[in-house]
Structure 1
Amino acid sequence: MGDSNIQELIEQYVLANQNQIYRLAYSYVHNKDDALDIVQESIYKAMTGKQSLNKADAVRPWFYRIVVNTSLDFLRRKKREAEPEEDIMLHANCTATDDQYENIDLKQALSRLPSAYRSIVVLRFFEDLTLEEIATILNENLSTVKTRLYKSLKLLRVEMSETE
């Protein structure tokens, strides 16, 4: 594939899937502006790294990996910058208009999961990706993804039963 074909493929994918891409970024940062920044940065990274896309049918997991990694990088930067009190205030100031999940208990339980586990749950159940696609996106072994998904669901079950 030529560079112009790859660029066109990426542009078409982003335009056709902009809501899902935004929702994925939002599921990590829970803030509209930050999610939009992540989407913008992910598009930039995709365009500058387009030569790493090998097959046209791999654009979805390839781009999702970029969004996930960009989101995790953003959270790491934010964590280094924030004081503990500020971090608590950020979560306390989330408004209902920022909330994409209807079940607040589920959102809170998801936020308590380790990021590697949360990523798998979000990609599997909110983005409807296969376990193979998730393994590709997260650059993990398929058995690792299955194990983490099982453990995540077990932790969520415990967490949810404690809140009832």
Structure 2
Amino acid sequence: MKHDIKIVKKAVKGDSEAFESLLFNEEKMLYYKALSLLRNKEDALDAIQETAYHAYQSIRQLRQCEYFSTWLFRILIRECYKVLKKRDRLIPYEEKELLRKLEFTEEVTIESCYLNEALSKLNSSYQTVIILFYYHDTSIKDISKIIDKPVSTVKTHLHRAKKTLKFELERSYLIHENIT
């Protein structure tokens, strides 16, 4: 979301009303992103509260006012991962949506258990990139900023994750075919 740069600059200088108005403009995005990652209303609200707190504490460190939304989203993602790590959960996703966006063109119907298994075999950085890119429609440039990696690394992770995911899905299907 684009914000008025003047309001962001006021918030950076310490104007709490300007900061509050920026948060109100982002509240729906924060809630839906947190809910999609955590799949629990209470956890999502906790993550948003922590995000607001940490953002308010560090708003003076924001260097480029035009990237306020990206900066805030990065804080939210970190808070969501803290909650997930604390509860020792995997990143949730909707299987059918992810398969559609991956354009998996096999003639077979992939069951969600296959996707769960395949995604669980990816390392966490690959999982993060796949889910942010395909499920949350986050650009590669934004993913790069969120995970603090160069764009080329994000592209490499995305390529390798897709390759591994496709291999694992095909392998799961073949194993299932031989059993039945």
Structure 1 and Structure 2 fold alike (TM over 0.5): yes
Partners in 1 of 2:34 and 2:159 — Cα distance?
23
Report the TM-score when normalising by structure 1.
0.70
Shifted more, 117-126 versus 145-154: the winner is: 117-126
| Structure 1 position 32 matched with structure 2 position 48 | no
Cα deviation code 1:124-149 (max 9, x no counterpart): 22332221221111111221111111
| Structure 1 position 3 matched with structure 2 position 14 | yes
Counterpart in the other structure of 1:84 = none
Q: Which ranges in structure 2 are unaligned for 5 or more consecutive residues?
A: 1-8, 97-110, 174-180
RMSD: 2.9
Judge conservation of contact 2:132–2:138 (CA < 8 Å) in 1: yes
The one of 41, 58, 65 aligned to 1:56: 65
Report the TM-score when normalising by structure 2.
0.65
The one of 125, 132, 137 aligned to 2:141: 132
Shifted more, 67-76 versus 57-66: the winner is: 67-76
Pair member with larger Rg: 2
Partners in 1 of 2:115 and 2:48 — Cα distance?
21
Cα deviation code 1:33-80 (max 9, x no counterpart): 21221111111111111111122211122111111111222223223x
Q: Letter of the aligned partner of 1:161 in structure 2?
A: E
Partners in 1 of 2:76 and 2:135 — Cα distance?
15
Judge conservation of contact 2:144–2:154 (CA < 8 Å) in 1: yes
Counterpart in the other structure of 1:83 = none
Counterpart in the other structure of 1:20 = 29
Partners in 2 of 1:15 and 1:111 — Cα distance?
35
Counterpart in the other structure of 2:107 = none
- How many residues get paired? 145
Q: Which ranges in structure 1 are unaligned for 5 or more consecutive residues?
A: 80-86, 92-98
Q: Which has the higher contact order (CA 8 A, sep 6+)?
A: 1
| Structure 1 position 143 matched with structure 2 position 157 | no
Structure 1 segments, 4+ long, off by >6 Å, are none
